[in-house]
Amino acid sequence: MPDCSKPTLQGIIRRHVDAGTVIHSDDWRGYDGLVDIGFDKHFRVNHGENEFTNGEHHINGIESFWSYAKRRLAKFNGVAKHTFYLHLKETEFRFNHRRDNLYLRTAQIIKKYTALTS
């Protein structure tokens, strides 16, 4: 992403997000106007006023994931652009199973996959 400006963010959102998608964000000004361009389900929390939840709307889960992802990916001192998606998917798997024994979970997946291909 070249920058976090409103035109850049809105351009990326328009290209990659369906207009019916529910969007949860913080109060960053780059997200201003999403409702005006057709994203009617845009809910915000105002961290600047110590608001971290607005009823059932919050962004704690995604903030937790990106915090985890940044710590994990920093260990590689950078990854090639063409492999970033694979690193991110591995990080997603690790995050979603962070309370599991990853060795056993991976063994289960391999066993299941082997049985399906045999």
pLDDT of residue 24: 86
In the DSSP assignment, the letter for residue 54 is B
> In this structure, what are the phi and psi dihedrals at residue 24, rounded to the nearest 5 degrees?
-115, 130
> Please, which pLDDT band fits residue 108 given cuts at 50, 70 and 90?
very high
Q: pLDDT tens digit string along 35-72?
A: 989 999 988 877 666 666 666 766 777 888 999 999 99
Q: How many percent of the chain have pLDDT more than 70?
A: 90
Long-range contacts of 93-97 (CB under 8 A, 24+ apart): 94/68, 95/65, 95/68, 95/69
Distance from C-alpha of 54 to C-alpha of 13, rounded to nearest angstrom: 22
Q: pLDDT tens digit string along 17-32?
A: 999 999 888 888 888 8
> Please, which pLDDT band fits residue 77 given cuts at 50, 70 and 90?
very high
Those residues with Cβ within 8 angstroms of residue 3's Cβ, 6 or more apart along the chain or in another chain: none
pTM: 0.63
Residue environment code for 13-46, b if the CB has 16+ CB neighbours within 10 A, otherwise e? beeeeeeeeebbbbeeebbeebeeeebeebebbe
